[in-house]
Amino acid sequence: MPKKIDHEARKQDIAKATWQVILDGGIEAASVRNIANEANLSLGALRHYFSTQEELLDYAMELVKSRCEARIMQVVQQNYPPKQLVTKVLLELLPIDRESMAEMQVWFAFTLHLKYKHGKAFRQTDGIREAVQRALVFLSDSGQLKKEKDLAKETEKLYALIDGLAIHRFLNPELFSGEYTAEILTEYIDDLCKK
Amino acid sequence: MPKKIDHEARKQDIAKATWQVILDGGIEAASVRNIANEANLSLGALRHYFSTQEELLDYAMELVKSRCEARIMQVVQQNYPPKQLVTKVLLELLPIDRESMAEMQVWFAFTLHLKYKHGKAFRQTDGIREAVQRALVFLSDSGQLKKEKDLAKETEKLYALIDGLAIHRFLNPELFSGEYTAEILTEYIDDLCKK
DNA sequence: AGCATAATAATACAACTGTACTAAAAAAGG
DNA sequence: CCTTTTTTAGTACAGTTGTATTATTATGCT
């Protein structure tokens, strides 16, 4: 039997090449040829691991998701005090460093791609809204919130703030540093809590 | 001399066809052929008004911008009390009805398009951040703000909230009604002001 | 009417897309 | 060494893209 290759590891390499291509040229540049080039593979070789473009994009997106979830789980397992924990978790949703910036762009490009592909049938499946909600419920249960607020609306505000900050940092990375972005979110959460 | 046609009006028709195409299929669908079809024109006819695709997209984008500005100016000229005025102005930045939803999608698709086209050289030119800032300065000068806040940071928060809400409504239009979106923004501004 | 010219239509071309197919290369088992 | 099967490379095909070119239509002025 021939060369034994770790398919999963190889697929991850290709997924990372996909991220790089999207990072450079957006989803419009994510052609199978561009990705194969970036991964130093021939078309046929690429096709051997992903038989269709959709399959490849799905995989690249899932990998972003699972990596983000892993980062969050790592934060959760260390036990910080409530407010600090929530802040650290939500900071993981922002594109602070180069890596999370890439992930965010992939997530974004891909979400748009799915939105237009499925039209009215599209539903967001990343559990970000739910995560934000859980964070607020946790703060509330811990008695940290300033006063009894409408948790549903507070969730939407915080969630919107997070995605808005993410987009603004994405569009203006040099005017909008990672530290400044983090500072704004931290301050917002602090305002929600009792002094 | 031959048929005399109002070029500017015609260009606006084509721009609206462009919006429709982007609305249906995203920027990826905004090919000259798709747009020509939507506008019931041949390729040659379309080319008679816009000699290049970039020129067409630029025009379509500028039209969005000027229409949005016009809506805001109309609000500003009626003189509401400060808080209500600011709220009404900022509500114009959200995709509430079908028309503003289309404009927002075009703005968004196009901003992304420019971002990836110009790479690091890209700068956002829509004056939205400045508009938000002016709104807050106006509130502050009117003595409506709850306490002395860091206006720069408050601008970023409010601006992020607006764009976050816009995106969430765009991605989930039926779970996230225009009224609900408006309510959240209104409540946020209300929280900023003295009781 | 007839001419000048704006407006439209039709076609062509090179580049790129996703997918498919075929054949060559490479490596582990016997 | 030699077979077997994974892995890779190369090419082909049909479709779409932006742009260019050419020809045709239609209209308003003299």
Q: Which two tokens stand for residue A30?
A: 């994510």
Asked whether the beta carbons of residue B161 and residue A157 sit closer than 8 angstroms, the reply is yes
Compute how many other C-beta atoms are within 10 angstroms of the C-beta atom of residue A33: 10
d(CA A58, CA B129): 35
User: With contacts defined as CB-CB under 8 Å, which chain B residues touch A123?
Assistant: 172
The answer on pLDDT for B74 being more than 80 is yes
What per-residue confidence (pLDDT) applies to B1?
61
Q: Which residue among B160, B162, B187 places its CB closest to the CB of A153?
A: B187
Compute how many other C-beta atoms are within 10 angstroms of the C-beta atom of residue A113: 19
**Cβ atoms of residues B116 and A28 within 8 Å:** yes
What per-residue confidence (pLDDT) applies to A195?
67
d(CA B195, CA B191): 8
DSSP symbol at A28: G
Q: Which residue among B26, B156, B168 places its CB closest to the CB of A160?
A: B168
Interchain contact A195–B (C-beta under 8 A): no
Mean pLDDT of B19-37: 95
Q: Distance (Å) from CA A37 to C1' C24? A: 21
d(CA B84, CA B193): 11
d(CA A172, CA A8): 35
Q: Which residues pair with A124 in a beta bridge?
A: none
How far does CA B132 lie from the centroid of its chain?
A: 13
d(CA A101, CA A104): 5
Profile chain A (195 residues) by mean pLDDT over runs of 10 residues: 82 97 93 98 97 97 96 95 97 94 90 88 92 96 87 97 97 95 98 86
Each residue of B118-141: pLDDT tens digit?
A: 888 899 988 999 999 999 999 999
Interchain contact A168–B (C-beta under 8 A): yes
User: With contacts defined as CB-CB under 8 Å, which chain B residues touch A28?
Assistant: 27-28, 116
Nearest CA to CA, how far is B126 from chain A (Å)? 12
Each residue of A125-147: pLDDT tens digit?
A: 889 999 999 999 999 999 999 87
- Cβ-based neighbours of B135, under 8 Å, separated by 6 or more: B86, B89, B90, B158
What per-residue confidence (pLDDT) applies to A117?
86
d(CA A194, CA B169): 30
d(CA B63, CA A56): 37
**From residue B28, how far is each of A35, A46, B61 by CA, in Å?**
18, 24, 15
Fold for A7-192, please state it.
Tetracycline Repressor; domain 2 (1.10.357)
Q: Which nucleotides of D are covered by protein (CB under 7 A)?
A: 4-12, 16-23, 26-29
Interchain contact B167–A (C-beta under 8 A): yes
Give protein residues whose Cβ lies within 7 A of nucleic acid chain C: A 1-4, 29-34, 43-44, 47, 51-54; B 1-5, 7, 10, 41-45, 47-49
